[in-house]
Amino acid sequence: MSTPRVVTFGDNVVDCYVGRGEMYPGGNAVNVAAHLSRFGARAAYCGAVGDDPAGRHVRDSLRDAGVETTRLRMGGGPTAFCLIGHEEGDRVFLGADLGVSIIAPEAEDLSAIAQGDAVHTGRSSRIEPHLADLAERARLSYDFAVVRDADRIGRIAPLCFLASFSGGDLSDGEAEELARSAREAGADWVLVTLGGRGALLAGPGGMHRAEAVAADLVDTLGAGDTFIARVLFGLLTEEAPETLLRAAAREAAQTCSRYGGFGPAAPIAVDRSRAKSLSEIYSTETTVRA
């Protein structure tokens, strides 16, 4: 494949660094789209933000990154945000609000996805009832994040070209077992990122491993999204697993050397009184429906 086209769908936020008074565009689907564009893919983002300073910052940052935003809705409420602190360079989530970011795919979104080679979304987008519709139209990349529920993996993995997991808390043996189980459930490729220990990728040719690349650690936010984007790009362009894993490790290290998942900073412009704890946000995983 020459230049893959990838549509990302769903979650977005502005990541607000309270100690710095700055906000950056973010969210898994947004970050993956921006990095795919940087790696050479034709990337498009489908999602919803508020018609407010935060939403305009997300929109403008995507456009500046070369991401198509034809299917970006604006208005109807506030842009989602996440409040972030740091401990020794590692992120600490202080609170969040989902704003207008949780939406169901519309017919025009599905048409845009059908024109692509792949579509990426994830757990944070809360569109599980619609994943089969996405997978019918393009190869599905899905970020499970820290979800390890066997029933949920069993439902989603058969739809996946690439299933990704965050496994920094897992031993090597546990990570390998997770990758094997998702492959056995039906995913073509399974990526498990391991933080400072690198990542592993399971596919038709077996299990492949890459060590982490040393980074000038400033902020780990967005490193996993960078890794996913580079692995997906490499798979779509038919790179060897060892090659694309090494490249993904290098790119993730670069993301760790700056603040934010990508893009420029802007002054924080959200209503912090709307913030809820992450336990409240994830106490229910309500999914959108048609």
pLDDT tens profile 217-237: 888 899 999 999 999 999 999
pLDDT (tens digit per residue) in 134-161:
999 999 999 999 999 999 999 999 999 9
Which of 258, 231, 271 minimizes the C-alpha distance to 247? Answer: 231
User: DSSP per residue over the chain, as a string?
Assistant: --S-EEEEES--EEEEETTTTEEEEE-HHHHHHHHHHHHT-EEEEEEEE-SSHHHHHHHHHHHHTT-B-TTEEE-SSPPPEEEEEEETTEEEEEEEE-TT---PPPHHHHHHHHTSSEEEEEGGG--GGGHHHHHHHSEEEEEEET---HHHHHHHGGGEEEEEEE-TTS-HHHHHHHHHHHHHHT-SEEEEE-GGG-EEEEETTEEEEEPPPP---S--TTHHHHHHHHHHHHHHTT--HHHHHHHHHHHHHHHTTSSSSSS--EE--S-GGG-B-HHHHTS-------
Please check whether residue 23 lies inside any domain of the structure.
no
Q: Tell me the percentage of the chain whose pLDDT exceeds 70.
A: 96
Within 10 Å of residue 133's Cβ, how many Cβ atoms?
17
The CATH number covering residue 181 comes to: 3.40.1190.20
Please check whether residue 270 lies inside any domain of the structure.
no
Pairing of strands 160-166, 189-193: parallel
- 234 and 210 Cβ atoms separated by less than 8 Å: no
Please check whether residue 83 lies inside any domain of the structure.
no
pLDDT tier, 278 (very low <50, low <70, confident <90, very high otherwise)? confident
Contacts of 245 (CB under 8 A, 6+ apart): 199, 201, 208, 209, 210, 231, 234
Query: What is the Cβ-side half-sphere exposure of residue 89, based on CA atoms within 13 angstroms?
Result: 13
Please check whether residue 67 lies inside any domain of the structure.
yes
pLDDT (tens digit per residue) in 75-120:
999 999 999 987 765 668 899 999 999 999 999 999 999 999 999 9
Please check whether residue 76 lies inside any domain of the structure.
no
Query: What is the Cβ-side half-sphere exposure of residue 84, based on CA atoms within 13 angstroms?
Result: 27
Q: Tell me the percentage of the chain whose pLDDT exceeds 90.
A: 89
Structure token pair of residue 87: 């401990």
* Amino acid letter, 147: V
pLDDT above 50: residue 290? no
- 193 and 166 Cβ atoms separated by less than 8 Å: yes
pLDDT above 90: residue 268? yes
β-strand partners of 208: 201
Rounded CA gap, 98 and 81, in Å?
A: 7
Rounded CA gap, 161 and 38, in Å?
A: 21
Q: What is the mean pLDDT of residues 60-68?
A: 98
Taking only Cα atoms into account, the Rg of the chain, rounded to an integer number of angstroms, comes to: 17
Averaged confidence pLDDT in the chain: 94
pLDDT score at 1: 59
- Residue with the bigger pLDDT between 279 and 19: it is 19
Burial class (CB in 10 A: 0-12, 13-18, 19+), 43: buried
Number of structural domains found in the chain? 1
Please check whether residue 85 lies inside any domain of the structure.
no
Please check whether residue 268 lies inside any domain of the structure.
no
Domain limits for position 153: 5-11+28-71+104-263
pLDDT score at 51: 98
pLDDT (tens digit per residue) in 176-192:
999 999 999 999 999 99
